[in-house]
Structure 1
């Protein structure tokens, strides 16, 4: 009964005309920056942070939250249509979503992403409202050792993600880890692997790698083909809506992705990104039905599950922020900055000292998710019309958007050259049949793994046993070891492709 009273208070705040307007602005901006590759919610929220100073605290946070989970919706659009992940959590969506688009099934792929995101967002918000205190206790159990173990499990999962030879998958993860080490050492302040290039002292940006390997790499491989074969899509678009069989296939995947994303969203460092990778790995291990499209070839479960997971994770990421004042990711850190701007101390006291803000923000998430699905589903037909654009006009536009997007992150010409270089690397990966998704997973998790490894060893005074004496950490490492053994065993007897793709 108390929860209903709190939600009534929240909807009373969220349904005011001014807050509805700012929720709509946030959702529109979020969708736009998700569709345009390279900008991202972090840069957008950082730019808009000073502008929120004149707004009421609830209006400011409602708009910024709309940008965050709106970007999770929009990021899937370019991932499916042009193989460009607009957001880091949309990387996995490229694998099957783009293949569906090539087969003329971009409509069902976009609808699966939109409907899965809506359902997961609503469930994630319900969990945030009902179970925030309980789930926060679970997040409390994750210290540096547990977080490091979770990252190790994530990297082993990245190996499972890759189709093809096991050695290639491991090589891509290791390459991602090495690229993540470029920059300044956080402890000593010494530049590592920067080769006396000042622009590399802050490390290589995710945007440069993702755009180069996925976007430019795809363009170069297309341009390398004869003119008559130089088309992104090999079939005309058919239905804009999923079939009954599609709904049967995607429904359980959406439920699994929502459950996994809701759990991983509250953990520090992972959130929507880790949830999308983990959910795809889970779907890939579930035995396919007879006649089902293989993963990597346009399986609708490979779109619905990760998109559900990243949206559920985006909602539950607010739990540690609103209940503990601990930001689990970069966007939540900016939300802390927004609250501080308005003289609000993030933490458990927000729920009691400022209930209108707390419950108004939660209620606005339901309204925002409804706005997003109403905005995005009618736009499917418009996005699909991109497919009719001749490739000679499409690829220069993609190159231009990528260049603008990567330049706006650091205002550096060097980053544009970096994207071009990674485009050539992406083309080489394409020719060698190497899946780039594990590279990005290794790159993103590498720096977080190093940070948590060092922190755990610092707290334990250099005692490595800290990773096995803590039950949760030991359990996660054990699961990673078992999974690695299961992955390695078939490679001894037969090709990995036969063991993991066709089974």
Structure 2
């Protein structure tokens, strides 16, 4: 009964006309920000923060939250249509979303993305409502050792996303970790691998890296290729709906992605990006035919999209109930609360029930708004593909340059995205997937920080990773995955060798 009364209180707060207007404005702006490459929710929320000073606290947080999870919806649109990830978490959607668009199924891909995003968001919302205290307690059990082990597991899982061998995927993860080391050392303050370039003191720009590896590299690849002349599909309501086989193929991945994203999003410091990458890796592991991934598998869209949207909802659990921001966006959100005199922490739910439950109910309302906004506009977004590619690609490069420049107002980032684009094209020619590299770059600094923190607390004893049960379990799963990858590679090599021997022994 208490839960129902709390939800009723939240509904009363969230259904006020002014609050609904703020919620709608937030999700609409978030969708636009997600579609535009290089902008991101962080920049949008930072710009909107001064506007919230004179707003009611609940309405301000609901609007900023709408921008946050609205960007998760919109980020997949450019990923599918143009191979440009609008947000870091939507980079994995490029792997199968863009091939689907090239195969004339852009409408289906966007439709599945919208439904998967709604399913993931609602699943995360249910978990947020039912298990907030338990999730907060679970998050407190995770120390630096557990976070390090979980990130190692995520990186090993990411190596399986490579369309080729697992060794190539692992190499890309390691390369991403090396790129993540560029910049100032957190502990000593010494610049590492910056080559006396002041602009590299803060590390490589994440937006420049994502735009270069995916967007610029794809533009270079498509010049003078068959893609320049491909005919865009004519989108109708019938063509947008997935077939029965495609719909059945999305149900289980959506369920798994939602559960994984909801669980990972509730952990401090994890966030939607890691959830999306791990959901994709799991689907590729459990698939009967993993070779379909990277060529337009609908599961490669539904799983990560449901995961990152579920994580976007439950990311508010550690931020609100523990006062621990999961990422930079959540840190800005906490700043907005503190500006309004509200202290995040374990007492927030009891001291500010109207704000907490109003925010929770607004999540459900906002996600329904997003579906109403996104489904009718699928045809509009796909119509972008009717623009001649000879005109579109220069415009894409201009938008990429503007988006990258807007992050730090630094022309060095524009040169960086050009160099990274050439590197991304070279990796594409050599059949290396860029997605594991991106995850390695994102997790690298956090991995190093938690490793150092653990060894500092244990006075240099590495056995602490084994002594702690959760950490030991995560490392055991990581070891099992590595052994399975080695065994699969050896088995495939032996099978191909036997087939070659049979072919040589067969009579001419």
| TM surpasses 0.5 | yes
| SS of residue in 2 equivalent to 1:187 | coil
Equivalent residue, structure 2, for 1:35 = 35
Cα 1:69–1:472 change in 2 (3 A) is same
Equivalent residue, structure 1, for 2:460 = 462
In structure 2, C-alpha distance between the alignment counterparts of 1:441 and 1:450, rounded to whole Å: 14
Partners of 1:103 and 1:233 within 8 A in 2: no
Partners of 1:31 and 1:71 within 8 A in 2: yes
Equivalent residue, structure 2, for 1:277 = 277
Map 1:233-312 onto structure 2 (within 5 A).
233=230, 236-237=233-234, 239-288=239-288, 294-312=292-310
Q: After superposition, what is the alpha-carbon deviation per residue over 1:431-459, rounded to whole angstroms, capped at 9, x for unaligned?
A: 11111111101101101100111111111
In structure 2, C-alpha distance between the alignment counterparts of 1:315 and 1:299, rounded to whole Å: 26
| SS of residue in 2 equivalent to 1:231 | helix
TM-score (norm 2): 0.95
| SS of residue in 1 equivalent to 2:341 | coil
Give yes or no for the alignment of 1:448 onto 2:446.
yes
Map 1:33-72 onto structure 2 (within 5 A).
33-72=33-72
Give yes or no for the alignment of 1:478 onto 2:480.
no
In structure 1, C-alpha distance between the alignment counterparts of 2:202 and 2:422, rounded to whole Å: 23
Partners of 1:99 and 1:296 within 8 A in 2: yes
In structure 1, C-alpha distance between the alignment counterparts of 2:495 and 2:334, rounded to whole Å: 46
Q: Which of 433, 446, 451 is the matching residue for 1:435? A: 433
Partners of 2:185 and 2:192 within 8 A in 1: yes
Tell me how large the CA RMSD over aligned residues is.
1.7
| SS of residue in 1 equivalent to 2:154 | helix
In structure 2, C-alpha distance between the alignment counterparts of 1:261 and 1:38, rounded to whole Å: 23
Q: After superposition, what is the alpha-carbon deviation per residue over 1:394-421, rounded to whole angstroms, capped at 9, x for unaligned?
A: 1011101111110110000000000000
Equivalent residue, structure 2, for 1:25 = 25
Equivalent residue, structure 2, for 1:106 = 106
Equivalent residue, structure 1, for 2:126 = 126
In structure 1, C-alpha distance between the alignment counterparts of 2:241 and 2:378, rounded to whole Å: 9
Partners of 1:177 and 1:446 within 8 A in 2: yes
Equivalent residue, structure 2, for 1:2 = 2
Partners of 2:199 and 2:412 within 8 A in 1: yes
Equivalent residue, structure 2, for 1:140 = 140
Cα distance, 1:269 vs structure 2 = 2.1
Cα 1:230–1:253 change in 2 (3 A) is closer
In structure 2, C-alpha distance between the alignment counterparts of 1:296 and 1:128, rounded to whole Å: 33
Map 1:99-498 onto structure 2 (within 5 A).
99-223=99-223, 225-226=224-225, 229-231=226-228, 233=230, 236-237=233-234, 239-288=239-288, 294-495=292-493
TM-score (norm 1): 0.96
Cα distance, 1:497 vs structure 2 = 12
Q: After superposition, what is the alpha-carbon deviation per residue over 1:97-144, rounded to whole angstroms, capped at 9, x for unaligned?
A: 111000000111101110111121112112111110011111111100
Cα distance, 1:288 vs structure 2 = 2.8
Structure 2 gaps, min length 5: 498-508
Cα 1:112–1:347 change in 2 (3 A) is same
Partners of 1:35 and 1:78 within 8 A in 2: yes
Give yes or no for the alignment of 1:15 onto 2:15.
yes
Give yes or no for the alignment of 1:92 onto 2:89.
no
Cα distance, 1:376 vs structure 2 = 0.5
In structure 2, C-alpha distance between the alignment counterparts of 1:478 and 1:127, rounded to whole Å: 27
Partners of 1:490 and 1:496 within 8 A in 2: no
Answer with 45-54 or 25-34: which moved more.
45-54
Answer with 480-489 or 409-418: which moved more.
480-489
Cα 1:409–1:483 change in 2 (3 A) is same
| SS of residue in 1 equivalent to 2:287 | coil
Partners of 1:42 and 1:330 within 8 A in 2: yes
Q: After superposition, what is the alpha-carbon deviation per residue over 1:137-196, rounded to whole angstroms, capped at 9, x for unaligned?
A: 111111000000000001101111111133322221111011000000011101000001
Aligned residues, how many?
494
Cα 1:496–1:412 change in 2 (3 A) is farther
Partners of 2:228 and 2:390 within 8 A in 1: no
In structure 2, C-alpha distance between the alignment counterparts of 1:87 and 1:31, rounded to whole Å: 11
In structure 1, C-alpha distance between the alignment counterparts of 2:306 and 2:167, rounded to whole Å: 30
In structure 1, C-alpha distance between the alignment counterparts of 2:333 and 2:493, rounded to whole Å: 48
Cα distance, 1:43 vs structure 2 = 1.4
In structure 2, C-alpha distance between the alignment counterparts of 1:135 and 1:496, rounded to whole Å: 46
Cα 1:273–1:195 change in 2 (3 A) is same
Partners of 2:184 and 2:203 within 8 A in 1: yes
In structure 2, C-alpha distance between the alignment counterparts of 1:271 and 1:8, rounded to whole Å: 29
Answer with 455-464 or 404-413: which moved more.
455-464
In structure 1, C-alpha distance between the alignment counterparts of 2:181 and 2:425, rounded to whole Å: 23
Partners of 1:222 and 1:232 within 8 A in 2: no
